[in-house]
Amino acid sequence: MECLIRGAMQEDAAAISQVIVTALRESNARDYSAEIIEAVERSFSPGAVVRLIEQRQVFVAVVGGRVVGTAGLDGDTVRSVFVAPGYQGGGIGRLLMDWVEVVAVRGGIEWLRVPSSITAEGFYLSLGFLRCGMSITKVSVRSSWRKRLIGNVLVHLERSGVGPILAESCEFRKAAIGHKRSSR
């Protein structure tokens, strides 16, 4: 199965919203209360996603013509990384983050930051991010992560074979991406 990573378009807003809301309800709900999930969902309605696409760089992962993941880059900060639950664990999140890191390096960003849910802590740790903080409020627990990019990400991407592909294309294709079917 082929996965295409590309820039999001306004026409993708409803599909991006659906991926995020589904991931929140099925994955993040294990770590957060229903009230928190509902509050976060409101930030990702299709109209809100259109505004995000206009404000920052937003990318989508497409499999079989369907949006199955998304990630954003706002300056030096990664935002809103979500993969549809049936595709989690198949490498799509890693592909999105590889893309974000290359875009960040091309933009001259030396350190990439990620505010994340506690649900995604293991994911960011596996990508080489270091926890640099945690905030705990009455309604939420969030981790802050950072990763040095310059001189680090390009070596990794060259070794993995992704670098040359990205250097030659505005789109990022990665063949043979598996996906897990949700057993829920």
The answer to whether residue 139 scores a pLDDT higher than 70 is no
Min mean pLDDT across 120-124, 137-141, 145-149 is at 137-141
Residue at token pair 């960003």: 109
Do 80 and 40 meet the contact criterion of CB atoms below 8 Å apart?
no
Residue 163 has pLDDT above 70, yes or no: no
Give the CATH number, domain containing residue 19.
3.40.630.30
Q: Indicate the number of domains in the chain.
A: 1
pLDDT, tens digit, 9 for 90 and up, residues 41-67: 999 999 999 999 999 999 999 999 999
For residue 38, being part of any structural domain is answered with yes
Q: Is residue 118 part of a domain?
A: yes
User: CA-to-CA distance for 27 and 170, rounded, in angstroms?
Assistant: 31
pLDDT tens per residue, range 3-33: 999 999 999 999 999 999 999 999 999 888 8
Which pTM does this prediction carry?
0.80
Range of the domain at 150: 3-171
Examine residue 137 and state whether it is found in any structural domain, yes or no: yes
Query: In this prediction, what percent of the chain has a pLDDT beyond 70?
Result: 78
